[in-house]
Amino acid sequence: MLPRTSQIENIRVKIASYSSVVQLGDSCIINSFSRALAVQRQADTFYGNEGNFGIHRVFSELIPLPIITENLTIRQHYLNPVIKVKNIDIIGVSSASLLHVGNTQHVSVEVRVKHVRQLLPRDEEPDTSLMIGDRKK
Amino acid sequence: MNFEVYNRELCVETIRIIGVASSSVVLVGDTQSIQQAATFDTPPESLIIGPFVPLTAEGR
């Protein structure tokens, strides 16, 4: 097997965060994992010691992977051994994602997110009548 | 199954992406295997309307 070469002229990435990978060049194994408790509160309140992954099932439950039962034979012919890309422009790479330029063998990524929203009771809602773009007034 | 691939010329001018997130992959090259998994949980009980209650603290 003759692997291909990747040729990129320009790469622009603004942010790479939370277990993300920007890899230029070949690699063998990439394993990335991220878990997050995403909390939205209607008003700014920070307690500083919150969050326990252990009590949420989403962080421990098994994610089933499809089992390959079929016998598969892959034959690849590399008639042109170069992949050419002129520009790559990405704003953000986040949460165990990756941008990889070059060959690799095995990639495995996993993300688990628990999203919680906390809203104020109706009578305590902040006055939004002055917000820009609010047409209800 | 027999799978035969002919990799001919591959030439791309511009790739523009806003976000690559939650176990996504952008790969310019070849690979043997890719395995991706993502769970996102936002059940009805995670929408709390009322006085703010702190989430369970770490290590409790």
The answer, as to whether pTM is greater than 0.90, is no
**Residue numbers in A near B35 (CB within 8 A):** 65, 106-109
Determine the residue of chain B that is closest to A95 in CA distance: B22
> Cβ atoms within 10 A of the Cβ of A3, count?
13
Contact A109, A98 (CB under 8 A): yes
User: According to the model, what pLDDT value does residue A137 have?
Assistant: 43
Helix (H, G, I), strand (E, B) or coil at B1: coil
Rounded CA-CA distance A45/A39 in Å is: 11
What is the pLDDT tens value at each position of chain A, 137 positions in all? 568 999 999 999 999 999 899 999 999 999 999 999 999 988 888 888 888 999 999 999 999 988 889 998 999 999 999 999 999 999 999 999 999 999 999 999 999 999 999 988 877 776 665 555 555 44
> Cβ atoms within 10 A of the Cβ of A20, count?
22
What is the pLDDT tens value at each position of chain B, 60 positions in all? 999 999 999 999 999 999 999 999 999 999 999 999 999 999 887 888 888 888 888 775
**Residue numbers in A near B7 (CB within 8 A):** 4, 76-80
Half-sphere CA count of B50, side-chain side, radius 13 A: 6
